[in-house]
Chains A and B, each alone.
Chain A
Amino acid sequence: MKPENLPEKLRETYNRLDKKGKQEFLDDYQKASVVTGEAVGTVAAQSIGEPGTQMTLRTFHYAGVVELAVPLGLPRLIEIIDAKRTPKNPIMTIFLDKNHSKDKEHAEKIAKKLHEEYLKDVCTISIDVKKKALRVETKDEEAEKIIEKLTEKKGDNGVFSITEKSLSELKKLKNKLEKKRLIGVKGIQRTFVREYHGEYVIYAEGSNLKAVLNIEGVDKDRTTTNDIFQIYETLGIEAARNAIIVEAKKVLDEQNLEVDMRHIMLVADQMTVTGEVQAVGRTGISGAKESVLARAAFEETEKHILNAAIYGEIDTLDGVAENIIIGQPIPVGTGTVELAVKPMKSKKDKK
């Protein structure tokens, strides 16, 4: 154990001690670490599972920002652990860089730029069935230009009348116009500027990390999202691991449930061990186990046993579940140790 590997809080205490105390401190710290063979996974599962039973089953809590619905409680925890591609309520916290973080106007300007606006938000589009024409009304000058570009027709004071041969083509055109994005970042529906610890922060409903990070004036260092999969795609597997820890901890803290960080870290480590974010469950970690018996004991028993029979899989009986099935001592705790014999030369050979 090296003193520089101590957590910061402990290092302060450590530095105050004399030489003898320092050694004792390190020894105690070493003793407190997990023993080889300890069933950390089982302990972690129970430590997260038990508080989970006390969590509110359905909560839409308002964390900090009043306008944003942040899903917390059990549904959100399940979302994280199941590694869902997109969360139910994606939310971004966008920090601004040092030069602009104190400027409210600037923050609002960026917030407005982020928020996506479609043509249908600024115009009224209606189909005139009799005349077989599409009527588009708008007061927005920007929108007018875009409509002109799309339909190649001149508008009269913001009113367009476009005729097409058939109704189906009119509908197609209407859909095309409605889906045209005027400004903003794809996926971000609403934005709010709020003061947070003396600086202005933009909260956004909807998430698009990759695009937001490329916008000028945004602090690339601190800006985050609650969409773990987006973090994985833009920042990599290690960032995803950190995000899982942060998000899971946030949910548990919000409900005043005390779960040790280490349990969550273990889960996050397992979820990211293959280099991709895996769910805990039959599609992810449990489904990727090596042992046939362990997989069959979990879910989809017939499928695994049948496939094992077809492909001639061999079970080496290294894990816990399979050894319980067979009725052998399990490789946990004292069971991890196998008998090792160092062959010595017999007395006769020595002579």
Chain B
Amino acid sequence: MGSKLKNALVPKHEILDEKKSEKILKFYNITPNELPRMLKSDPAIRELNPKVGDIVGITRISPTAGNAFYYRLVIEG
């Protein structure tokens, strides 16, 4: 399940299931509130029907690190 927005600037977004979310929080030893945020109405994830509190996994194509993984917490907005 990825974003339907097609543009070179938009990396792949996906909403993580509970199991994966937990794994990530455990790996970084953080609570969801410590993650970077992302608005619920963000055009890149609007079609994925995100819920507030979901964690979105972003696969960036980084010029310095190949595929870089980034996570954002969906917030109201």
Q: Is the CB of B43 within 8 A of A236?
A: yes
A265–B10 contact, CB under 8 A?
no
Say whether B65 contacts A236, CB under 8 Å: no
- What does the 1/0 interface line of B1-35 toward A look like (CB < 8 Å)? 00001111111010000000000000000000000
Q: Is the CB of B66 within 8 A of A236?
A: no
**B77 and A275 form a contact (CB under 8 A):** yes
State the Cβ distance, B76 to closest chain A Cβ, in Å.
10
Chain B residues near A239: list those with CB within 8 A. Answer: 7, 9-10, 44
Is the Cβ of A275 less than 8 Å from the Cβ of B75? Answer: yes
Is A222 a contact partner of B8 (Cβ separation < 8 A)?
yes
Structural contact, B7 and A275, CB atoms closer than 8 A: no
The CA of A106 and the CA of B44, in the complex, are separated in Å by 31
**Those of A195-231 within 8 Å (CB) of chain B:** 220-224, 231
Task: Decide yes or no whether B55 CB sits under 8 A from chain A.
Answer: no
Q: How many residues does chain A have at the interface if contact means C-beta atoms less than 8 Å apart?
A: 32
Q: Is A238 a contact partner of B66 (Cβ separation < 8 A)?
A: no
Which residues 45-73 in A have Cβ within 8 Å of B in the complex?
none
Indicate if A233 sits at the interface (CB-CB under 8 A). yes
Q: Does A235 contact B (CB under 8 A)?
A: yes
A13 located at the interface, meaning its Cβ lies under 8 Å from any Cβ of chain B in the complex: no
Looking across the interface, which residue of chain A has its beta carbon closest to that of B69? A5
Q: Is the interface of A mostly helix, strand, loop or mixed?
A: helix
Which residue of the partner chain A has the closest CB to B43? Answer: A236
Q: A4-B66, A7-B66, A243-B9 are in contact. Are A273 and B43 (CB under 8 A)?
A: no
Question: Separation in Å of the A76 CB from the closest CB of chain B?
Answer: 19
Select from chain B the residue with minimum beta-carbon distance to A209: B7
A28 within 8 A of B: no
Residue A17 interfacial (CB < 8 Å): no
Which A residues lie at the B interface, using CB under 8 A? 4-8, 10-11, 220-224, 231, 233-239, 242-243, 246, 261-262, 265, 269, 272-276
Q: List 12 A-B contacts (CB under 8 A).
A: A4-B67, A5-B66, A7-B62, A224-B7, A236-B43, A237-B72, A238-B58, A239-B7, A239-B10, A265-B64, A269-B36, A275-B42
